[in-house]
Amino acid sequence: MYLNGEYIDHSEAKVSVDDRGFLFADGVYEVVRVYDGRPFLMEPHVVRMKEGLRALQIDTSCIQDLEQVAERLLRENGITDGDATIYAQVSRGVAPRKHAFPPDCTPTIYVAAKRFNNHPTSYFEDGVAAVTVPDNRWTRCDIKSIALLPNVLANQAAHAADAFEALFVKDGVVIEGSHSNLFAVLDGTLITYPKSNYILAGITRALVIELARELGIPFAEAPLYWERLGDVEELFLSGTTTEVMPITKVDGRPVGIGRVGQVTKRLQEAYAQRAHPTASVSA
């Protein structure tokens, strides 16, 4: 792993108890998917991390070598093929515990590359279950903050209900999942909640929108009202580790006819072609 300029064994890593990431969750993070040993959509992840750092008023130059660090970690961990993830986290750094920003604080930078075991095939072929929960998060969800307690509690509620994901409901609108974005097919149009401070606009979300337009699928950024969940024809999640994952049941009730829909399948295929271009060519 990489910590503050050094490549070290995970067991040797040490972070101060005075680190503001530990004390205040004062930091941001990114997770990048790796397919066939290659980082996928690395550049937009770096761009989003820089946006988060600017929002926290942390100098973005601290991650200027992030792509090179990630590539070296993949090599040194022997990840030259197969699936993996790159986790990168930046906190404001170590300082006495005071709420205001400390002067001359050096950011703490942590990066790790690990093998990733994808979700069971049945999740993508048959769909997963989800539950709805009230959205009690702050109003800067566009920052990929390490302060994830509301998301943790929501996902635990899903876990307790034998569901895969929890869907946040804000002012009567189903907006996104605890660790994923949400898409629906409603009245023949693919919709997802508009990009705003109320959601984390995912990198995979942007790719799905691009793929939908390439495929000629009618698309709009629009709210999905909770009261219309029963009218939804298809529902799926998007995310770095969820990819394009269909939801076939919400709060114990089937979505549409209770099976994975054709729009979802088309987008799954298009996503796979982008993620594994070499396999697509050889096939």
Please indicate, yes or no, if residue 142 is contained in any of the structural domains.
Answer: yes
Q: CB-side exposure of 7: number of CA atoms within 13 Å?
A: 12
* Spatial distance between the Cα atoms of 277 and 258, rounded to a whole number of angstroms: 31
**Residues 32-56: tens digit of each pLDDT:** 999 999 999 999 999 999 999 999 9
Q: Are residues 154 and 86 part of one domain?
A: no
Q: Are residues 144 and 261 part of one domain?
A: yes
Q: Are residues 153 and 96 part of one domain?
A: no
Q: Of the candidates 30, 28, 26, which has an alpha carbon nearest to the alpha carbon of residue 18?
A: 26
**Residues 53-68: tens digit of each pLDDT:** 999 999 999 999 999 9
Domain count, the chain: 2
Please indicate, yes or no, if residue 264 is contained in any of the structural domains.
Answer: yes
- What pLDDT was estimated at residue 278? 76
Show the tokens assigned to 176: 């996104």
Q: Are residues 186 and 155 part of one domain?
A: yes
- What pLDDT was estimated at residue 282? 43
Please indicate, yes or no, if residue 60 is contained in any of the structural domains.
Answer: yes
Looking up residue 252, the CATH number of its domain turns out to be 3.20.10.10
- What pLDDT was estimated at residue 247? 98
Whether the predicted pLDDT of 272 surpasses 90? yes
- What pLDDT was estimated at residue 279? 64
Q: Quick one: residue 260, left, alpha or beta (phi over 0 = left, psi -120 to 50 = alpha)?
A: beta
Please indicate, yes or no, if residue 283 is contained in any of the structural domains.
Answer: no
Please indicate, yes or no, if residue 216 is contained in any of the structural domains.
Answer: yes
Please indicate, yes or no, if residue 69 is contained in any of the structural domains.
Answer: yes
Please indicate, yes or no, if residue 240 is contained in any of the structural domains.
Answer: yes
Q: How confident is the model at residue 74 (pLDDT cuts 50, 70, 90)?
A: very high
Q: Are residues 225 and 133 part of one domain?
A: yes
Catalogue the active-site residues.
144
Q: Are residues 111 and 238 part of one domain?
A: no
Please indicate, yes or no, if residue 47 is contained in any of the structural domains.
Answer: yes
Whether the predicted pLDDT of 258 surpasses 60? yes
Q: Are residues 264 and 189 part of one domain?
A: yes
Whether the predicted pLDDT of 280 surpasses 90? no
Which range marks the domain in which residue 240 is found?
A: 121-278
Percent of the chain predicted with pLDDT > 90: 97
Inter-residue contact 90 to 107 (CB < 8 Å): yes
* Spatial distance between the Cα atoms of 242 and 88, rounded to a whole number of angstroms: 18
Q: Exposed, middle or buried, 244 (CB in 10 Å: 0-12/13-18/19+)?
A: buried
Q: Of the candidates 146, 211, 221, 135, which has an alpha carbon nearest to the alpha carbon of residue 173?
A: 135
Among 53, 86, 115, the domain boundary falls at: 115
Phi/psi for 132 (5° steps) reads -100, 145
Q: Are residues 193 and 68 part of one domain?
A: no
Q: Are residues 160 and 111 part of one domain?
A: no
- What pLDDT was estimated at residue 48? 98
Q: Are residues 133 and 99 part of one domain?
A: no
Amino acid present at 137: R
Q: Are residues 128 and 7 part of one domain?
A: no
Q: How confident is the model at residue 175 (pLDDT cuts 50, 70, 90)?
A: very high
Among 84, 115, 146, the domain boundary falls at: 115
- What pLDDT was estimated at residue 283? 45
Q: Are residues 165 and 200 part of one domain?
A: yes
Whether the predicted pLDDT of 281 surpasses 50? no
Among 115, 133, 164, the domain boundary falls at: 115
State mean pLDDT over 228-232: 96
Looking up residue 38, the CATH number of its domain turns out to be 3.30.470.10
State mean pLDDT over 142-150: 98
